[in-house]
Amino acid sequence: MSGVVLDGKKINREILDELRPRISALTAKKRPPALAVVLVGNDPASQIYVRSKVKTSHELGIRGIEITPPETTTTDELVQQIEPLAKDPNVDGILVQMPLPKHIDAERVMSYVDASRDVDGFGVQSLGALVQNRPAPRACTPAGILQMLKRYKLPIAGKHAVVVGRSDIVGKPMALLLLHENATVTICHSRTQNLAEECRRADILVAAIGRAAMLTADFIKPGAVVIDVGMNRLTDKAEVQRLFAGDPARLAAFGKNGTTVVGDVDPKAMKELSSYYTPVPGGVGPLTIAMLMANTVELAERHLAG
């Protein structure tokens, strides 16, 4: 058996195509949606993420505002830059790229991004609304995963979902979204006993633990839907050869670049045992950006209603 690939790029295109007429309507009536992106310092990974988000917003006709203070910025200085954005009626969403430098109080900074502009869905009010299943921006990665499951018409109600990871960004909101779709949900984490046994009970397995290929064949029930949120960079040749022994294209790319990425699930086991699975890359990543754009447009529609 070989699982069917859940194509995140395809779902990304579908969502963005659905957003275009909504953006055009807002622009024609009042103004384009506006997204402010705050990137502190010059972390290479964060720069890549932000570049991709800004590029997509520009392509859609969303007005992008980039704030790029230096690494040495203090908490007070960052707040002084975010406060005017939070009060600007022409700004619909504010995204503060994480992680912030360690000397900055991230909780204090995020307290200035009120729920009506919390485009990432990470704020206390947004998470509280999610718990009660009330309207609010949803965390982008879990919301994108839910969109993928629905658009591939994969049943959720009555299924046993296991989420490995308990972060506020992926694990907890993913578990709540699945619960609201009437799945029976188990959350696992670093202290879970008999982790493989818990994972093998899953009809839907979501891996978001941040450890390269940690979930092996022993963790996957044959026929499960496997969603791999992980994005771990590998540079060890022997490890890459072990994980991608049957993937000559990946091995050739590694030979050229000296690096490749792998998710939290062993790619060979995931492909062979699952009924459907998300590849890494090309699975969950494109969904995150699509849902960020969807949240921005939804907030703009609320701000410009009437």
120 tagged catalytic = yes
Contact 298, 19 (CB under 8 A): no
237 tagged catalytic = no
3-class SS of residue 67: strand
97 tagged catalytic = yes
User: Tokens 């609201």 correspond to what residue?
Assistant: 180
Q: Which two tokens stand for residue 219?
A: 């963790």
| Strands of 63-67's sheet in order across | 63-67, 34-38, 93-96
Instruction: List beta partners, residue 232.
Output: 262
Contact 149, 225 (CB under 8 A): yes
Contact 161, 206 (CB under 8 A): yes
Q: Which of 92, 118, 120, 228 is catalytic?
A: 120
Phi, psi values for residue 277, rounded to 5°:
-155, 155
| Pairing of the two strands 93-96 and 184-188 | unpaired
Q: Which of 10, 17, 47, 53 is catalytic?
A: 53
Give catalytic residues, as residue numbers: 53, 97, 120
